[in-house]
Structure 1
Amino acid sequence: MTQEFLTTVFGWMTVLNLALLVFTTLMIVVSQDWAAKIHGRMFQMEPGDAKKAYFRYLANYKILTIVFCLMPWLALKLA
């Protein structure tokens, strides 16, 4: 594997993960109350707790995307 190939792979990984993050964020913003009711019933939790779980999910996904996709891509670009 060449550095050029790895740079391309990490670049596309970053783009795809950021696109999924944006899509998920939009879906949660648009259908937050509806989804919180359904997930609250599915997992026996209050809708408020489900909304907190959504925020935690988005925060963790963003951190993981930055650490495992964006930073390696940036390091390979700078190398």
Structure 2
Amino acid sequence: MDTQTLTTFFMWCTIFNGGVLILWTFFCMFAPDFVYRVQSKWFPLPRETFDVVIYSLLGLFKLVFIAFSLVPYLALLMIG
């Protein structure tokens, strides 16, 4: 597999994962009650616990996105 193919792959991974991160952040910031109502139908949690879980998962996803999508893409851009 050549560098150009890997760069293209990680570019699309970064775009898709970045879009998911932006969408998730948008919902958590501007529609937290809607997210809680939808999710509480499947996972009955108190609101405080739900807020901690959802923001912890958002932070974890952001770290995983940076480590496994953005950094490899930027590294491939630098060596390419």
TM-score (normalised: structure 1): 0.85
Aligned counterparts, 1:14-25, within 5 A: 14-25=14-25
Gaps of 5+ in 1: none
Q: Is the 8 A contact 2:3 2:76 kept in 1?
A: yes
Distance of aligned partners of 1:16 and 1:41 in 2 relative to their CA distance in 1, 3 Å threshold: closer
Cα distance in 1 for residues equivalent to 2:23 and 2:50: 18
AA aligned to 2:64 is L
Count of residues in Structure 1 that have an aligned counterpart in Structure 2: 79
- Once the two structures are superposed, what CA deviation does each residue of 1:42-79 show, in whole Å capped at 9, x if it has no partner? 43421011011111111000100000001111111111
For residue 10 of structure 1, what is the aligned residue in structure 2?
A: 10
| Alpha-carbon distance in 1 for matches of 2:40, 2:7 | 41
Q: Helix, strand or coil: the match of 1:45?
A: coil
Higher normalized contact order (CA 8 Å, seq sep 6+, divided by chain length): 2
Extract unaligned runs of 5+ from structure 2: none
Tell me the residue number matched to 1:68. 68
Instruction: Work out the percentage of aligned pairs sharing the same amino acid.
Output: 27
Cα RMSD after superposing both structures: 1.5
